[in-house]
């Protein structure tokens, strides 16, 4: 295989060596069931509780407010289904935004089938919700607001602090999908008035197939995965001990490196952005660079089919994506770009480059040159 330049960090990341090293003994030597009474089981139990402590320290919550799940998707399902169903006697209205991940939007559709009513907030051209619209749509029967911390496609950061305040004033539970935010943003669930939050290890250099959800202590929620008594009877299933250990180590590292990471990645991002805007005509960088995650460049290139361009980049070893990874087999324009008012034509000419910590200046040169040449060839 030739050169590979990975610039799709919002889709997933590799597992860091320090993370893998901590996980390995839990596949082999320390394989005990965490529910068992003997010491081999207690070793697993201790490892899980250590990881839980690391998550709690990263989010500034209590350890008994953290639950492990199988993914960010499951965390979103668990938070929304669990909280909505347990609180339906108080009301059946939910507020979310039009640019959420499908793990939220499809869960909302499910709740609509169960008789809940969902309001989907609009976003402006930068992908940001309107706080006034939020205030206007709140009703006496609104029980839950779910707005993501940072968007996976365009990287925009939502006004979580303001939303949290409003939710608190109205006595509404506030959930945020923070899957993209971990490792890029400092999070303090109390300062932000966040009542529930989803995260996923493979977005911050941990393994795939392991997630976590924070749910504030006094909030009622019904379990979604039913069975044994694991996770305080809130999420059944024998714990993925190695995965949980990996998640704990990964969130600890990510949280200790936010400043350095953001500084490096935004430096590279700015150079790439300048190379693109100076050398490619009729290109639009979507969502205000100042209001988004540091590694994200989402660009629409007029007259260039995104799929063709991505295949040409792939031939040169560059891993980038269109909109979101989950949509890459589908020819529909991204729901996020549509909500931002971007035309179908431009949306289908949009690619997402998300830089991360293994990228360097040579990568930026390489990506710039390959991208400029590919666009010129397509347009010719
Ligand atoms: C990746 C992602 C998810 C889903 O997480 P998985 O662990 O892949 O299921 C949910 N929300 C956002 C914002 C994401 O980026």
Q: How many whole angstroms from 85 Cα to the centroid of ligand 1? A: 22
| Distance separating alpha carbons of residues 231 and 109, to the nearest angstrom | 27
Please say if the pLDDT value at position 332 is more than 90. Answer: no
Token code pair at residue 203: 């977005």
Candidates 160, 180, 185: which one to mutate for ligand 1, based on the most atoms within 8 Å of Cβ? 180
Q: What is the pLDDT of residues 133-192, one digit of tens each?
A: 999 999 999 999 999 999 999 999 999 999 999 999 999 999 999 999 999 999 999 999
Q: Which domains does the chain have, with CATH numbers?
A: 5-13+258-379 (3.90.1150.10), 17-256 (3.40.640.10)
Please say if the pLDDT value at position 261 is more than 70. Answer: yes
Separation in Å, CA 235 to CA 77, 126, 232: 12, 37, 7
Q: How many whole angstroms from 200 Cα to the centroid of ligand 1? A: 7
Residue 359 beta carbon below 6 angstroms from any ligand 1 atom: no
- Number of continuous H segments (helices) and E segments (strands) in the chain: 13, 12
| Distance separating alpha carbons of residues 56 and 243, to the nearest angstrom | 17
pLDDT attached to residue 1? 62
Separation in Å, CA 158 to CA 8, 100, 135, 162, 177: 21, 11, 15, 9, 11
Query: Of all helices (H) and strands (E), which one includes residue 306?
Result: helix 306-315
Residue 200 beta carbon below 6 angstroms from any ligand 1 atom: yes
pLDDT attached to residue 324? 44
Q: Residue 370, class by beta-carbon neighbours within 10 Å (0-12 exposed, 13-18 middle, 19+ buried)?
A: middle
Collapsing DSSP to helix, strand or coil, 297 comes out as strand
Q: How confident is the model at residue 329 (pLDDT cuts 50, 70, 90)?
A: low
| Distance separating alpha carbons of residues 92 and 275, to the nearest angstrom | 50
pTM listed for this prediction: 0.97
Residue 243 beta carbon below 6 angstroms from any ligand 1 atom: no
Q: What is the pLDDT of residues 193-213, one digit of tens each?
A: 999 999 999 999 999 999 999
pLDDT attached to residue 323? 62
């Amino acid at each position: 295989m030739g050169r590979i330049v990975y610039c799709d960090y919002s889709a997933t990341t590799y597992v860091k060596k320090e993370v893998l090293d901590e996980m390995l003994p839990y596949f082999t030597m320390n394989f005990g069931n965490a529910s068992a009474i003997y010491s081999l089981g207690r070793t697993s139990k201790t490892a899980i509780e250590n990881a839980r402590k690391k998550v709690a320290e990263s989010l500034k919550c209590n350890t008994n407010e953290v639950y492990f799940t199988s993914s960010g998707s499951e965390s979103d399902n668990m938070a929304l289904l669990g909280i909505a169903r347990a609180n339906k006697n108080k009301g059946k209205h939910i507020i979310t935004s039009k640019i959420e991940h499908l793990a939220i939007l499809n869960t909302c559709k499910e709740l609509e089938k169960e008789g809940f009513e969902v309001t989907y907030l609009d976003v402006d051209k930068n992908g940001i919700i309107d706080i006034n619209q939020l205030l206007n749509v709140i009703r006496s029967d609104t029980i839950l607001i779910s707005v993501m911390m940072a968007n996976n496609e365009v990287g925009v950061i939502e006004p979580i602090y303001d939303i949290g305040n409003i939710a608190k004033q109205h006595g509404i539970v506030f959930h945020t999908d923070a899957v993209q935010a971990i490792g890029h943003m400092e999070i303090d669930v109390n300062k932000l008035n966040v009542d529930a939050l989803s995260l996923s290890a493979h977005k911050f250099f941990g393994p795939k197939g392991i997630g976590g959800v924070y749910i504030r202590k006094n909030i009622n929620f019904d379990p979604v995965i039913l069975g044994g008594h694991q996770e305080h009877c809130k999420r059944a299933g024998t714990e993925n001990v190695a995965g949980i250990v990996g998640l704990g180590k990964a969130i600890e590292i990510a949280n200790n490196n936010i400043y350095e990471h953001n500084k490096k990645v935004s430096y590279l991002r700015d150079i790439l952005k300048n190379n693109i805007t100076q050398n490619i005509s009729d290109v639009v960088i979507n969502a205000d660079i100042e209001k988004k995650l540091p590694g994200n460049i989402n660009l629409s290139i007029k007259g260039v089919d995104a799929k063709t361009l991505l295949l040409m980049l792939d031939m040169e070893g560059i891993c980038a994506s269109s909109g979101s990874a989950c949509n890459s087999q589908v020819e529909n324009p991204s729901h996020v770009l549509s909500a931002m008012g971007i035309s179908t034509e431009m949306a289908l000419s949009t690619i997402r480059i998300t830089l991360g910590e293994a990228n360097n200046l040579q990568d930026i040169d390489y990506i710039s040159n390959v991208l400029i040449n590919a666009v010129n060839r397509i347009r010719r």
